Amino acid sequence: MTNQPNILVICSDQHHPLMTGYRGHSLVKTPNLDKLAEDGTHFTRAYCNSPVCTPSRMSFITGKYVSQIDSWFIGCPLDPNEMTWARRLDEAGIPSTMLGKMDFCGDYQDGGFTDFKIIERRAAYDPYPRNTPLDSRLKGYIRPDKRKHIENAGIRPDVITDGENGHGPLGFYDHDRIVTEWSIDYIKEKAKSDINDPWALYVGLLYPHWPFTVPKKYYDMYYEQLDKIELPHDAKFPNENLHPALFRFQQSLDLGVVTEEQLKKVIATYYGMITAMDDMVGQIVEELKAQGLYDNTYIVYMSDHGESLGEHGLFYKQCSYEGSVGVPLIVKGPNVPKGQKVDHPVSLVDLYPTIMDMANLDVESDRPGVSWLPLIRGENHERPEYVFSEYHGNFFQQDWYMLVKGDYKYTYYVKERPTLYNIKHDPKENNELAHDPQYAEILREFEGLLRTILDPEEVSYRSKKDLGLISPDGKDYTETLTVQQLHEKIKAGVFPNEPGFPVWK
């Protein structure tokens, strides 16, 4: 096994797919990712399979869609019996190590890795399935901290922490600094070992995930160029042109009026967070080179989902616009063409079979993804022409399902009208086509394709039932209950007080 390559997966959090130098961004500095793309292949149409942390990650570690593993939202625990690529590698004699965020929920935290170190752990709902309806999916839900992240964007205080509580004002810089140090130490130990057998390392960074706060040197890098920062497209607050489900999403974020000055300050901070993260990726890659391990190591860089960053008047993720559901993706390694760009649509569910391919292991037949390597190398590949994503979490009363195929992106909203965009000619998704009669046949074809993958209403019902949103007599609380009524019923003892985001104890 001595010639078998090593595998390194670096996953950032909430990185907009276009905000890198190698994708041609005019301001964002990512020299290390650019070099990785130069030494390997990057994808221009890569997508996550659910644009929120836990479901996306549970999907790409199991190689299954969210609806196959019931990972509906943050707080939903993964069944320990579900096979992961980490366990497959371990069972095949390739030690797999997780450093940093993977976002397992509850007592099952190792995910099949041979070894792991985590700073921030995520609790699971208790009990689960929930007895109390998840309030963030009910009518009238408002989350006020989302506005505060915009108001408080800027320079991170110059302090050193243990990396915990990153959701607070200090953000996740220390988390990533520590995880980067762990990763460098890991590589040094592997280089010192007399055993030359292959290894696999997963590095879970949290930048550029909110809160929008970054050390001063990174902030200044972009704040000094504030006049060069372009405003996001369709950045209206409020934006009444949005699909009704997206307009409710915008209202739930409680963004209010966002001024041009506020918007540019958030963007400058976010760009700084990307560059800070890029520096840490560079430190890890440089250690591989210093230890002579770079050439014989597959490296995957990706993010779990994107960040809207003001586009369409939205922030964060959760929706099926490109900035939210799209992800950056680079693959570098032995026999991977250098400097290549791949435009074929792919998604993160492909990571599992890709890692199996890298390790010369077979893939189970129930995995919907396909290895990226044949596509990268120009070999024959039996790859679907579409990619699929779905969402069952907060801010949306109803579930949605997205398909990208050819020039088009289709989103099916349960109990509401769909949307359709020609993302080849309208990459900013400003021209909605679903209302145009000439696209009626395309809409029918997309819905037919969706129903070959799953039954959207049945899956929606299952997700709602697990999240406490279906009453004992089968009624849908997303249609019959407001968040204000829910809180009154909790006070009255009708429902137990089960938190929307369980806290690790």
pLDDT at 127 over 90: yes
Cα–Cα dist 45/12, whole Å = 17
Domain count, the chain: 1
Average pLDDT for 158-183: 95
State the pLDDT confidence band at 2, using cuts at 50, 70 and 90: low
Quick check: is 256 in a domain?
A: yes
Residue 241 pLDDT > 90, yes or no?
yes
Question: What is the per-residue pLDDT for 379?
Answer: 92
Q: What is the pLDDT of residues 350-408, one digit of tens each?
A: 999 999 999 999 999 999 999 999 999 999 878 899 999 999 999 999 999 999 999 99
Does residue 485 register a pLDDT over 50? yes
Q: Is residue 377 part of a domain?
A: yes
Average pLDDT over the chain reads 96
pLDDT at 243 over 90: yes
Containing structural domain, residue 206 = 6-389
Whether 120 is in a domain gets the answer: yes
- What is the Cα–Cα distance from 236 to 314, expressed in whole angstroms? 9
Nearest alpha carbon to residue 199 among 331, 367, 1: 1
Quote the tokens at residue 181.
């140090």
Q: Is residue 485 part of a domain?
A: no
With respect to residue 231, please indicate whether it lies within any of the assigned structural domains. yes
* Residue 286 located in a structural domain: yes
User: For position 168, which CATH number holds?
Assistant: 3.40.720.10
Over range 236-263, report the average pLDDT.
96
Tell me the pLDDT band of 195, cut-offs 50, 70 and 90. Answer: confident
pLDDT in the model for residue 1: 42
How far apart are alpha carbons 259 and 262 in whole angstroms? 5
Cβ neighbours around 311 below 10 Å, total: 22
* DSSP secondary structure letters along 11-67: EESS--TT-STTTT-SS---HHHHHHHHHSEEESSEE-SSSSHHHHHHHHHHTS-HH
Would you list the DSSP string of 107-142? S--STT-SEEE-SS-BPPPSSSS-SS--GGGSBT--
pLDDT digits (tens, 9 = 90+) for 171-184: 999 999 999 999 99
472 lies in some domain: no
Q: Tell me the average pLDDT across 492-504.
A: 93
Question: What's this model's pTM, rounded to 2 decimal places?
Answer: 0.97
Residue 504 has a pLDDT of 86
* Domain contains 490: no
Contacts of 77 (CB under 8 A, 6+ apart): 104, 105, 106, 107, 108, 124, 125, 128
Using the predicted structure, report yes or no on whether residue 425 has a pLDDT greater than 80. Answer: yes
Q: Please report how the helices 173-192 and 260-290 are oriented relative to each other, as an axis angle in degrees rounded to 10.
A: 10
Higher pLDDT, 143 or 380: 143
